[in-house]
Amino acid sequence: MSAAVVERPSSVAGTDLAVTQRRIITSEWIKLRSLRSTWFSLGAAILLDIGLGILFSGLRGNDAATHQVPAADFDSIEVSLRGMFLAQLAVGVLGVLVITGEYATGMIRASLSAAPRRFPVLVGKVAVFGGVTFTLSTLMGLIAFLGGQAVLHTDGYGVSLSSPGAARAVVGVGLYLTVVGLLALGCGFAFRSTGGAIAAVFGLLLVLPLLAQALPNSVADHVNKYLPMVAGSQIIAPHQAPNVLGPWTGIGVSALYAVVALAVGLFVLMRRDA
């Protein structure tokens, strides 16, 4: 500690300093990995998903075997991947916190002082959080699938990754949770407060399907399939059920929710004072 800052040769002289999208992405990666909440949330998501996948596989496989359910009628893939519905809580909360944590602590002012153009900041967060979520949750889907199928094998229901719909479902876990994460990120940017954003995310994902049940059946059939969780989760279903969208259309529709949330978030980020 001294006032000798001026005598010291500046170590930034000669460096080409400029804000670029790539550098913002690097910065967002440092921010994401340097918070404990990131690893707690993602760790919880991974443990829940894999653990539940194996647990469900054991229980359901055992039950099906005692009732002598034919293998063709058993949804082996989906059973091992259903843990993602719980994992989405952790991913959704983290997606919100990635930005509302900055507003709550004032960090946003430091972030926007370093990178004053708002759009690249949002792009940086989408790229980093989306990328990390997709990579980890696809990997997690793969482990849950392999673990679940190993357990199901003992009852004769196990399938391999090359069976129809299996690879799509594994990648689908990654896609679905990324959509949930980005929807949460968009809501975080839009609401700026943790509570409001979390209410919005889980209202959309979990409460809307319950409300839709109050509608007359003829209407509900048309509405329900477009809700984000219903549409997005078809990607892990091996057979197309009636009154739902196809796997790829479904994930596309759920991705639209995330895009709209991010667009609203961007609007708020650009227009409102930090």
Partner 1 sequence: MIEALRLTKRYGERTAVDDLSFTVRPGVVTGFLGPNGAGKSTTMRLLLDLDEPTGGAARVNGRRYRDHRAPLREVGSLLEARAIHTGRSARNHLLALAATHGIPRRRVDEMLDLVGLAGVAGKRAGGFSLGMGQRLGIASALLGDPHTLLLDEPVNGLDPEGVLWIRNLLKSLAAEGRTVFVSSHLMSEMALTAEHLIVVGQGRLIADTTVEELTRRASPAAVTVRSEQDGRLRELLGRDGVTITSADNERLEVVGMTSAEIGRVAAAAGIALVELTPHQASLEEAFMQVTRESLEFVGATR
Q: How far apart are CA 149 and CA 147, in angstroms?
A: 6
Helix (H) or strand (E) holding 217: helix 217-224
Q: Contact at 8 Å (CB) between 122 and 262?
A: yes
For residues 156 and 164, give the distance between their C-alpha atoms in angstroms, rounded to a whole number.
17
The smaller minimum CB distance to partner 1, of residues 239 and 271, is found at 271
> Is residue 27 near partner 1 by the rule CB under 8 A?
yes
* 273 is a site residue for partner 1 (CB under 8 A): yes
- Furthest-apart CA atoms within the chain: distance in Å: 83
Number of residues that bind partner 1 (CB under 8 A): 45
Q: How far apart are CA 203 and CA 211, in angstroms?
A: 10
The binder of partner 1 chosen from 69, 80, 105, 198 (CB under 8 A): 105
Find the part of the chain contacting partner 1 (CB under 8 A) among 2-10, 137-145, 234-242, 250-258: 2-10
- Residue 194 engages partner 1 in binding (rule: CB under 8 A): no
The residue within the footprint of partner 1, chosen from 45, 84, 99, 108 (CB under 8 A), is 108
Question: For partner 1, which residue of 66, 67, 73, 113 counts as binding (CB under 8 A)?
Answer: 113
> Of 39, 43, 117, 219, which lies in the binding site for partner 1, with binding defined by CB under 8 A?
117
Asked whether 125 and 28 are in contact (CB, 8 A), the reply is yes
CA dist 73 and 162 (Å) reads 18
Which residues contribute to the site for partner 1 (CB under 8 A)? Answer: 1-3, 5-6, 8, 10-13, 15-20, 23-24, 26-28, 30-31, 34-37, 101-102, 105-117, 271, 273-274
